[in-house]
Structure 1
Amino acid sequence: ADGLFVTDYFTRTPRKLSPFRSFASIELFHFHIPEDTVIAVWNLIIFKEQGGTFGDQCPDRSITVYFRSGAPSVINPLHTHFPRDTAVPGSFALTLTWTLPNRTTGVFNVTSPLPGDWFLAAHLPKDEGKISVKGLYEECQYLFQPQLIVQRLVNIAVLYPGYVTEQSMAPHNRSCLYKVFVPSYTSRVLVEVLRCHGAEGCPLWLRVRAKAPPLHNSTALDCREHSPCQLALDLPFWQHWYYVLVEKHPGVPGTVSFQVVVQLTDCSRPSLARPPFLPSSASMNMPHSFGSAGGLGLGDSPPPTSPNGTKHPIPIPTNSPSIERCWPVRPTLRNELDTFSVHFYIFFGPNVSVPPDRPAVFVINLLPVLDSGGVLNLELRLNVSSLCGENVTVFGCLNHEVPLTSGDNASVTCETESLSGFLLSVNATASLSRLRIPYPQTGSWYLSLRSLCATEHGFEPCTNVTAEVYLRAYLSPCINDCGIYGQCKLLRTNNYLYAACECKAGWNGWGCTDNAEAFSYGFQLLSTLLLCLSNVMFVPPVAIAVRSHYLLEAAVYIFTMFFST
């Protein structure tokens, strides 16, 4: 697509890597990728040092680097067991090997990366456990420095809902890129290509993706095989940009002209599309930095005219497809107690009534950067006495950035083709359900609760039974405060704070709950006794020193005996 590309460069100070023992021993790097980025390239530099010079004699040790968008990676290189009810988000991993005696580099490319915070975590392999005398030789140090180069496209054309944008694609152009802002309470995005004229009918591909420009595997439609060329997305992400890519088929000669229009369906009124023009930008919760060439808000002036086309409103259809309506979203009150110690209180809660005819939807807002370094905890407890003897199951779906309330009662799931979430359920038999998400992505998390009755034909809507659920949501630094065999440590990398467990007595894992290599109680007691009883050997030297009137030496021995443990 035609446009102006801008290249930005970011770098971080080299840091010394440590062997992996727990997440507290890794080195964490924080980057920010701007919007409209088409490619991000990480240049990973590792070099050895020994005694202030190049460490040519240092052994080659592999370095593992993890990448994740939105929050730090939840890594488990030792393959330990996670605590119960813990969700483990995925991340990318890259292992670097040495190409030169004292230096190596690696490259990690991401095409059309998600904008916002990105985190890199790096560490050395676990120590082999060899004992060495410190100070006899210079220690080998392995330093890691990441660098980020991003290329972003400026002045991307903005599509206004309900307005037609005319475009003429010249023979030397392969594609045209647009973006449209999707506000809250939008249940459907419909992108349509109209009046397409080319050498071979309509030789265009229509691709749509949220948050970043489309990729080859994004939702796509071949306009040559579909008439009309319409691409519909149900349950889009709220408060995000959606990117529309119109791409010409390879080898198509001549100019291709077409029109693009986007329709947004307001789920509070499923039979109506959003009007093509609103009185103010606040009506659509749209940011004033709208991203167009003029930087105009939606309500500040009518949509600007495209350089090679015109925009005009089209009639709003009244026969939109039947889409399940969205229900009111109840906010939560944020109460900050300490760093990563936040409670989310429900108005008129914590007991929640789940009616049989509609879901109860709640939103939990996690602040950018500040809340991603802890653990998001969710707890559901069913009041069995409220079921009136019915076989009721309350299902909860926790989804990021858009609530999911499926109308399919036979299959209970929190996932669609474009969404993935976490499922919780409580009933009379199992009245308690918990969920822990370490290092959660920031933004809005939506919890949808609905009650269904189990029958021989599957789950069906209940009648005249309102279930009562105790709901607790909070943010904590570590899982269960790392238990009795660990310590929760607050760590910092530049201006970013995060927490991690540091385990003891051979225990491992994110909550110090993995006892595969744990020391037995007898071994711990024996180690303590040997350490303490070994100091008794200082008693004879103390007695001899006092008898010989060497009081200063006796004082040194007594001091060493009491404080050497």
Structure 2
Amino acid sequence: MCQLLQALPLWQHWYYVLVERTTVSGAAVYFQLTTQLQDCSRPGLTRSSSGPSSSLNMPQSFGSAGGLSSLEGLPDSGFSISAANTSWGDSSTLQPSCWPIRPTLRNELDTFSVHFYIFFGPNVAVPPDRPALFSINLLPVLDSGGVLNLELRLNMSSVQGENLTVFGCLNYGVPLISGDNVSFSCQTESLFGFSLSVNTTNGISRLRIPYPQTGTWYLNLRSLCSSEHGWRQCNNISAELNLRTFLSPCINECGTYGQCKLLRTNNYLYAACECRAGWSGWGCTDNTLAFTYGFQLLSTLLLCLSNLMFLPAVLIALRGRYLLEASVYIFTMFFSTFYHACDQPGIVVFCIMEYDVLQFCDFLGSLMSVWVTVISMARLQPIIKQVLYLLGAMLLSMALQLDRHGLWNLLGPSLFAVGIMAIAWTFRTIRRRHCYPPTWKRWLFYLCPGTLIASSAVALYAFVETEENYFYIHSIWHMLIAGSVGFLLPPRAKSDGRVTPLARRKGCGYQLCVNEQEELGLVDPGSVSINSICTS
């Protein structure tokens, strides 16, 4: 005969019994399996189960059920489990280890945002002679991806000068109740719970469980008073507590250095903190590798002040009478500065408008700066250039709405603009039968250095920049891309030297009529041909 006593079985859970034979003989082995459940609210009633229901999952050749029998030889556990755990009644009629459990009501506010309310709460009374039990039911899937929060707050006016301590134990499946009146335990050989306590010195206690197991959780509260010889039962003092239980997506909304985000993996939804500025932990509270204030200030200043490199590009554009290009550079410099001031991970943050607006304007300005610079280098007719400027602004806005962080959002427009410039230069080279731009000084001192600087900036942005080196690599990107504009932007176009009829009538003497000069600068004056000599 083999007997097993389970004093604290989990409620609403299946138990599986594995029976193995120790001999290898081919004879059939017959056995009888009987279970017994004692209801603590009705000590005289014992429910036993045996018969066909006990062998439904057994192989027929391995065992069969016998007749009904009782387990009279089982020892008394000293602890009974209530089958009617939500029954209410006079506690004096119950056994000392059988107490009513107060259920909680749930109020769903949002995803992973649920408040659990207690009847006639949130203030609860813990009597001196017995524990107070509460149940919290977490639904599958809906409640497993957040954080279970429990807060106890002791009402000091209810202790009446006693050195009282309220112990709490939160555990899953079955409540853990101490076996005597002068001690409190939150674990057994097979079960373990989360403990918390409040007293007259520390009146607040909080417990947080990330990603809790779904099912029923039980909270056991017990009040004890300290004495010279240890703990004792309090004398007719019912401690009053304020109990708050709720689910939240993240711990303390991830604090100052974090952001709470909802994530989905394999159809499983859960919330997690995305920590910044070197902070880590469940609630972004671990500052072991956190950035100092000076480091945060330095990174912000580098990212913002590096945009001042656009000032030389603006001055060069204004000197060359490229007013539209200069306005694009000013737009980029302004929004890039304030976007990076608002994008910082720490506390050195300054936002003049919504973050999403600043980010869109910064990305659009950066792409438009590249676009207008390359298109202006193509030396197209004014009407064609204006159409390409407007078309580029509309297409780039659409591309940024689709994916702002895509690498091809930068490379695609740049390569397309370079293609337009190459076609225009090739056509002009074929028509004139001379390399365009025509002077080696333009290639050596402007185009080659500008192309090298811009290529280095794109390489850093695409292959070197990471989250760890972002603040100084991206600052270098600002300076390189802005500096390349000063080399690549073509000089001011020469005005047409044709003499108007009015000037021809008013002029006197001889005048030189030059139909066309080279579009780019650094042209040797001796190479200018004189098409005709006009007289007044």
Report the TM range for the smaller structure's normalisation: 0.5 to 0.7
Match in the other structure for 1:529: 301
CA shift for structure 1 position 361: 0.5
Distance in 2 between residues matched to 1:537 and 1:376, nearest whole Å:
51
> What CA deviation, in whole Å up to 9, does each residue of 1:1-47 have, x standing for no partner?
xxxxxxxxxxxxxxxxxxxxxxxxxxxxxxxxxxxxxxxxxxxxxxx
* Deviation of the 1:320 alpha carbon: 7.2
Aligned to 1:460: 232
CA distance, structure 1, for counterparts of residue 140 and residue 329 of structure 2: 56
Whole-angstrom distance in 2 between the partners of 1:252 and 1:463: 66
2:285 paired residue among 489, 502, 513: 513
Structure 2 residues without counterparts, runs of 5 or longer: 80-95, 341-536
C-alpha deviation, 1:261, in angstroms: 1.3
TM-score by length of 2: 0.55
Cα separation, partners in 2 of 1:351 and 1:318, compared to 1, 3 Å: farther
Retained in 1: the 8 A contact 2:279–2:289? yes
> 1:198-236 CA distances to partner (integer Å, 9 max, x unpaired)?
xxxxxxxxxxxxxxxxxxxxxxxxxxxxxxx32101010
Match of 2:329 in 1: 557
Assess if the C-alpha contact under 8 Å between 2:29 and 2:62 holds in 1.
no
CA contact 1:332–1:344 (8 Å) conserved in 2: yes
1:331 aligns with 2:103: yes
Pick aligned residue for 1:261 from 10, 34, 41: 34
- The more displaced of 253-262 and 368-377 is 253-262
Partner in structure 1 of residue 125 of structure 2: 353
TM-aligned CA deviation for residue 343 of structure 1: 0.6
**What is the SS of the residue equivalent to 1:513?**
coil
- 1:448-476 deviations in Å (ceiling 9; x for gaps): 11111212332222221111011110111
Distance 1:427 1:364 in 2: 24
Q: Which amino acid aligns with 2:267?
A: N
Q: Which amino acid aligns with 2:7?
A: D
Q: In 2 relative to 1, CA 309–532 (structure 1 residues): closer, same or farther, beyond 3 Å?
A: closer
Shift of the 318–250 alpha-carbon distance from structure 1 to 2, 3 Å rule, reads closer
Q: Which residue of 2 aligns with 1:241?
A: 14
Deviation of 1:493 after TM superposition, in Å, equals 1.6
Contact 1:273 1:317 (C-alpha < 8 Å) held by counterparts: no
Spell out, residue by residue over 1:148-196, the C-alpha distance to the aligned partner (whole angstroms, 9 max, x if none).
xxxxxxxxxxxxxxxxxxxxxxxxxxxxxxxxxxxxxxxxxxxxx4xxx
Task: Detail structure 1 runs of 4+ shifted over 3 Å in the superposition.
Answer: 250-258, 290-294, 305-320, 408-411
Label 1:453 to 1:271 Cα distance change in 2 as closer, same or farther (>3 A).
farther
Name the count of aligned residue pairs: 319
Give, as a single letter, the amino acid of the residue that structure 2 aligns with 1:551: L
CA deviations on 1:361-407 (whole Å, 9 max, x unpaired) are: 00011111211111101011111111111122111110101011111
| Contact 1:271–1:318 (8 Å) recurs in 2 | no
Q: For residue 242 of structure 1, give the secondary structure of its aligned residue in structure 2.
A: coil
Q: What CA distance in whole angstroms lies between the structure 2 residues aligned with 1:466 and 1:455?
A: 17
**1:273 counterpart (20, 38, 46):** 46
- What letter matches 1:489 in structure 2? K
Return the alpha-carbon distance in structure 2 between the equivalents of residues 266 and 477 of structure 1: 39
Shift of 1:427: 0.9
Please state which structure has a larger fraction of its residues in strand: 1
Shift of 1:275: 5.6
Q: Does 1:473 align with 2:245?
A: yes
What stretches of structure 1 of length at least 5 have no aligned partner?
1-192, 194-228, 278-289, 295-304
Point out the structure with the larger helix share. Answer: 2
Equivalent pairs: percent with the same residue?
69
> Which amino acid is 2:272 matched to?
A
Tell me how far 1:360 sits from its aligned partner: 0.8
What amino acid does structure 1 have at the position aligned with 2:254?
Answer: C
| Contact 1:372 1:441 (C-alpha < 8 Å) held by counterparts | yes
2:158 maps to 1:403: no
Judging changes above 3 Å, is the alpha-carbon distance between structure 1 residues 255 and 390 closer, same or farther for their aligned structure 2 residues?
Answer: same
User: Could you say what secondary structure the match of 1:434 adopts?
Assistant: strand
- The letter for the 2-side match of 1:238 is W
State the SS of the aligned residue for 2:158: helix
The higher relative CO (CA closer than 8 Å, separation ≥ 6) is in: 1
**Contact (CA 8 Å) 2:5, 2:74: kept in 1 or not?**
no
Residue 255 of structure 2 corresponds to which residue in structure 1? 483
Counterpart residue identity of residue 314, structure 2: V
SS at match of 2:318: helix
SS across alignment from 1:231: coil
- Partner of 2:267 in structure 1? 495
1:313 aligns with 2:86: no
**Alignment partners' CA distance in 2, 1:308 and 1:407:** 39
Distance 1:319 1:387, change over 3 A: farther
Q: Name the CA distance, whole Å, in 1 between partners of 2:26 and 2:115.
A: 61
- TM-score (norm: length of structure 1): 0.52
State the match for 1:429 in structure 2. 201
For 1:237, give the aligned amino acid: L
Q: Which amino acid aligns with 1:362?
A: F
Q: What SS does structure 1 have at the residue aligned with 2:278?
A: coil
Query: Aligned AA for 1:269?
Result: R
Deviation, structure 1 residue 509: 1.6
The within-5 A match list for 1:170-319 is 193=1, 229-250=2-23, 255-274=28-47, 293=56, 309-314=64-69
